[in-house]
Amino acid sequence: MTCRNLYTKVVHACMFDEAKIECAKGQNIQVLDASYGRFEGGAATCATSPMPNLYSTEGECGPPDGGNAVQAVETLCGGKQTCGPFDVDDKTLGAVDGCETTFKYLEVRYECVEG
């Protein structure tokens, strides 16, 4: 474990839910990474679709680099003490090509830094 891992926080939120990110008073959010889709090793994350006839939890999809999610979360949250709640959906985080029928989730890795 590195020192960076010690201070890194992770937030998960399922598609159609809301996400909220917050730091203690005097600290601000620094987004390290964000991804929106379904990824290897994430089968247990948001494992049940609220609309199984429309959205599947099978397989994987989404860009490995996070796609538009990094920029979207940075725009919404970067440099703020608290952020959200904001919608976890294609409109907010950017549609993911090839994932139209996949029940996706958001994962954000961030740190709280002195503001």
**Containing domain of residue 68, as a range?**
3-114
Counting the structural domains of the chain, the total is: 1
Show Cβ contacts of residue 93 under 8 Å, excluding neighbours closer than 6 positions.
36, 68, 69, 72, 73, 106
Q: Quick: pLDDT tens for 51-107.
A: 999 999 998 888 877 678 999 999 999 999 999 999 999 999 988 888 999 999 999
3-state secondary structure of 77: helix
Give the CATH number of the domain where residue 101 resides. Answer: 2.60.120.740
> pTM to 2 decimals?
0.89
Does position 26 have pLDDT exceeding 80, yes or no? yes
